[in-house]
Amino acid sequence: MNQPDGIPTIHSISASKRWYRRVRKTISRIYATLLMALILYLTLSAVWYLISSLARSSTPEQLTNIPVKMDRALLDTERAAWRGFEVSDNPRTPLAHYHRVDGWIQPDKFNGCTQSGCHAPLPHSKRKEVRAFLNMHATSMHCGVCHMQTEKVPLDVLWYDLANGQPQSSPAILEAYGLLLGTPPKPDDEAALKTLQEKLVRLLNRASIGAGNPPAIQDLADHFSAVRATSEAFTKLLASGREALPKHFRGEYGAKLALATASPRGPMLMHPNTEQAVRAFLDRRDSATGESRKALLDAVHPLKRPKALHCSDCHTTGQSLIDFAKIGYPAARTEALRSPIIVRMIESINAGHEMHLPGFVKPNSP
Amino acid sequence: MVSQKVRRIAFLVAGLLTGIFAADSSADDPDNCLLCHQFRGLSRLDPETSRLHLFFADPDYSNHRRGPHARLGCTDCHDRSEVSVIPHKTVSPVDCARACHLANQSGLAREFSHAHVKRMLQESAHTGDVLSKLQFNKGPLLSPDQSNCLYCHDEPIFRDPAKAIPRVRGMPSHVFDRCDVCHKEAAPLDTEYFLRHVASRLVPARPPLELAQVCAVCHSDPLINKSHDMPDTVKSFVRSFHGKAALLGDDTAANCLSCHVSAGDNAHRMLGKSNALSPVNPVRLADSCRSTDCHPGADKSIAATAVHLDLPTAHGSMEYLLAITFIVLTILTFGPSALLVLLELVQIIVGREQHEDHRVRGLARTLLADPGGRERLKRFKPHHRVQHWILTVLFTLLVMTGFPMKFADRAWAEAMVNVFGGLQMARIIHHWAGIFLVVGFMIHMVIVFFVFLSCARERMAEGHTNAYRKAFTSLPMWISPVDVKKTFQLLACLLFLRKERPTFGRFSPAEKFEYLGVFWGTMLLGITGAILWGEQYASHWLGGLFGGRVFNLSTIAHTYEAFLAVIHVGILHIYNVILAPRVFPLSPATITGDTPLDKLVEEHSELVEEVARDLGLMPQEKPNEPA
């Protein structure tokens, strides 16, 4: 039934059309509500900005959010947390440190010993002779390698990725060095040479990221990718790479060594099943003394070695507790780590004997 | 970041011939310190003081000659007798004024010392006495045995040579072809070192932002400012044009040293403002601003520009009052418009049905079906639409290139500036877009003037007295008392105080108000923009009137008016032409000039009736009122 001017009346509208109209109206209402919320939000934000532009005065983070103190708190923050660092080409180092660091030792997000709040990321502080050297190993090894009891000899260790705490193969820089030390394909084997080139470039790029993007490793990757795999330049690069790469074995691999758990096989990043004991200890850390404190600590450290491993347990010409070859160290690097000169130096330092560095031992010479 | 290109050139040319890494880096490390100190983790935390001791020295610094100290050995600064023995003895603080010996390429050593810097500091505002007594809000930043030099300095680093010599980026590799004849294996490092060392001297040692970071360590510290009775000058600096440019990565912006160190003088001899020799002393300030590097040719009044103006703390100043005026005006103009839009949405949400005049709808349908009627119902002629789109493009460009300056400290600002290739290019685009906008505005005014003349002639032909006044008030965008009355009627209707919704002619009062905003805004932004752009000329013309503060006032007017324009367009205009349910997803008026039927019936029924009368679809009941 229509009105005289052709407009349908409500009675002529079928049920489906009424339903359609109702849905449409509901959608319109939701849309209008959302729109209103958006406009209100934007309007209030604009007014708030206007008022605060005259009422509040602050210095932008780009200027002030830089670390000025070298203290414990710095160890708990990553470089990226500092806005002032991020906006600078060459950000200045934290104030009390003169030398360029471009970052400091980063917190290991998966190390249960430090993340629990019990131990500092640089935990060794007692013996002056070795404390910095021991802390140095914290960038490439989990505490458990030296401090957790295991019967296995050599130690069953694996690498874990610092980005996700998951097991990973050996660090890219070690793999790349292994490739460089291997016998290169014959000059006329273009396919093999190209494969080697691609592998090296990929590994060096990964190694650069793992080491915090030092320009030298990236340069090396760039050079390997810039030359033809069959050229003489590539052969020369292989030779110079063999000398260059060991200079960057500085424990910054984007991965760390940890004892392996049996099943499922993975990194043992804290003493097993101790979460509750850790909480109990933290609750009573300040109040517990004597035997009760010892009991709490024993519960936290069920696998603690009575005596931590000694440097020369691994850095030795004899039977090392770490099977370096098994975890991806090329032979030349393994030899360097177990060289008699290094071992004697370590023993001398550990014994607290005064010594002068021999000039012929070059940094990271293979 | 040091140009990879430069490194690559050096490496590729000489490196491949001589063996990239054959150069013996240990030459700069005769004591073999890096054997241990190359490890970042070589460090310890003092459990008693919580102080972190990093013993790391980046070997890449010397291996890649990253700075002028790269050729120094550790024992050039640290006492050999203390550090060559392991474990190290208690290490004495480094005395930056001690002499060292640098060997040149031919092996001849030359004594070098910073002792004279110490003497300079004693003549400056930053004497050893002043620096040693600094009390920081966060407690001591240096340990007692550390050099005060560390407040400002860390290991010096060369800047990217391409910053000073852009051609370095495209430099062909054969430039270095013969370097290895003399430099032999050291060619890659020497060429790189030479380039960086020389080129880095051609630009400031630090970009303005990093320099401000250095100054902020003390000059943004509340305790230091309080004890020395100083304002936070770094905070106010970054609110200035110079500071904002620095935040946006412009290396050419004036930095702290540009003003506070006399031309040709040394930063270590920086003097306090009250010292007659200081470039910022009131007597010398004008000449400092007008130096050939900065604002040559400007009137001396430019010195009165408050570079360190911090509005929130400048209570009672002319600038503060102007800012308050703009804020109030913004709220008073934007607020009611926003209220109308929000109330419109409330009508939809509560499901309020408007009484619809079916007669008008029928008329509109009939007219739209007729080509002549449809043409008459087009509210925007082709030249209006072209003007609108030109305005849209220019407005967008102006906002994208101008707002990063307003919000320079936000993360998105630098990203947006970089879209245009950096601040310099963004600034050029902003200026040219502004010129086109002003030119477009003038062309529009000429068109309006001819429309006005035509109206005036018609009125005269009709025998009206005051034909020009009547012609003016009959211009399409003239806001008449009737518009004001209808706006209140609309408000009453939207507030449920009135049943009938008022209807309008060709343009609604809201549209007329928006037009007025564009009219006023373009003039204000154009004038203040021209003052800021041509500051050297403006200082002569306007300096006598307001002094250098004309630039502060212009900045405030420009920035707050631009903000008003952006929120009006960005929130309300976008709603009206895109998001409003009746026009979503885009009003065809901006493309074809057509107005959607619903909007025509609800808001522009007077236009429909007027066209219907003209085409004889309705009797001529009464004379048209001016639309």
pLDDT in tens, B212-238: 999 999 999 999 999 999 999 999 999
Report yes or no on B260 lying in a domain.
yes
Contact A104 B57 (CB under 8 A): no
What's the pLDDT at B107? Answer: 66
> Which residues are A266's β-sheet partners?
A261
In what order do the strands lie in the sheet containing A167-168? A167-168, A157-161, A255-261, A266-267
Are B183 and B224 part of one and the same domain? no
What's the pLDDT at A24? Answer: 87
B167, pLDDT greater than 90: no
Q: Are B250 and B422 in contact (CB under 8 A)?
A: yes
Of A3-12, B564-573, B585-594, which range is least confident?
A3-12
Q: Which residues does chain A have within 8 Å of residue B581's beta carbon, measured at their own beta carbons?
A: 28, 31-32
In the listed set B263, B285, B312, which residue is the last one of a domain according to the structure?
A: B312
What's the pLDDT at B528? Answer: 96
B482, pLDDT greater than 80: yes
The alpha carbon of residue A264 is apart from the nearest alpha carbon of chain B, in Å, by 31
Are B196 and B226 part of one and the same domain? no
Question: What is the number of alpha carbons within 13 Å of residue B346 lying toward its C-beta?
Answer: 12
Residue of A nearest to B140 (CA): A69
Does residue A300 come out as left (phi exceeding 0), alpha (psi in the -120 to 50 range) or beta? alpha
The alpha carbon of residue A183 is apart from the nearest alpha carbon of chain B, in Å, by 19
B304-363 residue pLDDT tens? 888 899 898 888 899 999 999 999 999 999 999 999 999 999 999 998 877 777 888 999
Contact A250 B341 (CB under 8 A): no
The alpha carbon of residue B122 is apart from the nearest alpha carbon of chain A, in Å, by 22
Q: Are A148 and A296 in contact (CB under 8 A)?
A: no
- Mean pLDDT computed over A288-298: 91
Contacts of A140 (CB under 8 A, 6+ apart): A251, A252, A253, A255, A256, A257, B41
Among A94-98, A99-103, A257-261, B153-157, top mean pLDDT goes to A257-261
Report yes or no on B619 lying in a domain.
no
Are B244 and B301 part of one and the same domain? yes
Q: Which residues does chain B have within 8 Å of residue A120's beta carbon, measured at their own beta carbons?
A: 45, 47
In the listed set B140, B171, B203, which residue is the last one of a domain according to the structure?
A: B203
Report yes or no on B430 lying in a domain.
no
Q: Where does the pLDDT of residue B16 fall: very low under 50, low under 70, confident under 90, or very high at 90 and above? A: very low
The alpha carbon of residue B135 is apart from the nearest alpha carbon of chain A, in Å, by 14
The alpha carbon of residue B444 is apart from the nearest alpha carbon of chain A, in Å, by 30
**Distance between CA atoms of residues A58 and B205, nearest Å:** 27
**Distance between CA atoms of residues A294 and A288, nearest Å:** 9
Report yes or no on B396 lying in a domain.
no
**Distance between CA atoms of residues A90 and A225, nearest Å:** 27
Q: Are B557 and B531 in contact (CB under 8 A)?
A: no
Question: What is the number of alpha carbons within 13 Å of residue A193 lying toward its C-beta?
Answer: 18
A301-332 residue pLDDT tens? 999 999 999 888 999 988 999 999 999 999 88
Report yes or no on B583 lying in a domain.
no
* B581 and chain A in contact, CB less than 8 A: yes
Contact B44 A132 (CB under 8 A): yes
The alpha carbon of residue A326 is apart from the nearest alpha carbon of chain B, in Å, by 24
Output the CA angle B312-B254-B153, nearest 5 degrees.
Answer: 95
Report yes or no on B97 lying in a domain.
no
Are B181 and B226 part of one and the same domain? no
Mutate to test the interface with A, among B210, B333, B342, B579 (most CBs of A within 10 A): B210
DSSP-derived secondary structure letter, B276 = T
Are B223 and B174 part of one and the same domain? no
- Mean pLDDT computed over B267-286: 93
Q: Which residues does chain A have within 8 Å of residue B150's beta carbon, measured at their own beta carbons?
A: 95-96, 98
Q: Are A252 and A210 in contact (CB under 8 A)?
A: yes
What's the pLDDT at A364? Answer: 56
Q: Say which residue the tokens 């060997």 belong to.
A: B103
**Distance between CA atoms of residues A269 and A259, nearest Å:** 8
Contact A363 B146 (CB under 8 A): no
Task: Determine the residue type at B507.
Answer: F
What's the pLDDT at A282? Answer: 92
Of A283-297, B194-208, B501-515, which range is least confident?
B194-208
Of A99, A233, A354, the CB nearest to B16: A233
What's the pLDDT at B15? Answer: 38
* A56 and chain B in contact, CB less than 8 A: yes
Q: Which is nearest to B588 in space by CA: B603, B577, B598? A: B577
Contact B151 A95 (CB under 8 A): yes
**Distance between CA atoms of residues B459 and B324, nearest Å:** 44
Mean pLDDT (chain B) is 86
The alpha carbon of residue A198 is apart from the nearest alpha carbon of chain B, in Å, by 19
Contact A88 B143 (CB under 8 A): no
Contacts of B128 (CB under 8 A, 6+ apart): B118, B121, B122, B148
> Which residues are B54's β-sheet partners?
B43
Put simply, the chain B residues between 16 and 45 with a CB less than 8 A from any chain A CB are 16, 19-22, 25-26, 29-36, 38-45
Are B225 and B199 part of one and the same domain? no
In the listed set B312, B341, B359, which residue is the last one of a domain according to the structure?
A: B312
Are B178 and B297 part of one and the same domain? no
Contact A63 B238 (CB under 8 A): yes
Work out how many domains chain B is built from and give that number: 2
Are B170 and B85 part of one and the same domain? yes
Mean pLDDT (chain A) is 87
* A36 and chain B in contact, CB less than 8 A: yes
A328-343 residue pLDDT tens? 999 888 988 888 888 8
* B153 and chain A in contact, CB less than 8 A: yes
* B571 and chain A in contact, CB less than 8 A: yes
**Percent of the residues in chain B that have a pLDDT greater than 90, as a whole number:** 46
Q: Can you state the percent helix, strand and coil of chain A, rounding each to 5? A: 50, 5, 45
Q: Where does the pLDDT of residue B104 fall: very low under 50, low under 70, confident under 90, or very high at 90 and above? A: low
* A131 and chain B in contact, CB less than 8 A: yes
Are B169 and B243 part of one and the same domain? no
Report yes or no on B333 lying in a domain.
no
A360, pLDDT greater than 70: no
A78-100 residue pLDDT tens? 888 888 888 887 888 888 888 88
For residue B243, give both structure tokens. 């500071």
ipTM for the whole complex:
0.84
Are B184 and B55 part of one and the same domain? yes
The alpha carbon of residue B141 is apart from the nearest alpha carbon of chain A, in Å, by 6
What's the pLDDT at A161? Answer: 94
Q: Which residues does chain A have within 8 Å of residue B579's beta carbon, measured at their own beta carbons?
A: 35
Are B83 and B19 part of one and the same domain? yes
**Distance between CA atoms of residues B27 and B35, nearest Å:** 13
Contact B84 A104 (CB under 8 A): no
Residue of A nearest to B249 (CA): A87
What's the pLDDT at A2? Answer: 46
Are B36 and B168 part of one and the same domain? yes
For residue B545, give both structure tokens. 């009137």
Contact A57 B35 (CB under 8 A): no
Contacts of B37 (CB under 8 A, 6+ apart): B55, B56, B57, B74
Residue of A nearest to B84 (CA): A356
Contacts of A343 (CB under 8 A, 6+ apart): A312, A315, A316, A317
Q: Between the CA of residue B286 and those of B138, B170, B240, B303, B429, what are the distances in Å? A: 37, 40, 17, 5, 30
Report yes or no on B181 lying in a domain.
yes
Residue of B nearest to A25 (CA): B351
Of A87-101, B9-23, B148-162, B456-470, which range is least confident?
B9-23
Q: Are A144 and A266 in contact (CB under 8 A)?
A: no
Among B88-92, B170-174, B181-185, B329-333, top mean pLDDT goes to B329-333
DSSP-derived secondary structure letter, B100 = E
Pairing of strands B85-86, A355-356: antiparallel
Q: Which residues does chain B have within 8 Å of residue A136's beta carbon, measured at their own beta carbons?
A: 36, 39, 41-43
Mutate to test the interface with B, among A36, A40, A50 (most CBs of B within 10 A): A50
**Distance between CA atoms of residues A98 and B37, nearest Å:** 14
**Distance between CA atoms of residues A98 and B153, nearest Å:** 7
Q: Which is nearest to A61 in space by CA: A45, A29, A83? A: A83
Query: Domain limits at B270?
Result: 219-312
The alpha carbon of residue A330 is apart from the nearest alpha carbon of chain B, in Å, by 20
Put simply, the chain B residues between 77 and 106 with a CB less than 8 A from any chain A CB are 84-87, 94
Residue of B nearest to A138 (CA): B41
Contact B154 A97 (CB under 8 A): yes
Q: Where does the pLDDT of residue B251 fall: very low under 50, low under 70, confident under 90, or very high at 90 and above? A: confident
Contact B22 A62 (CB under 8 A): no
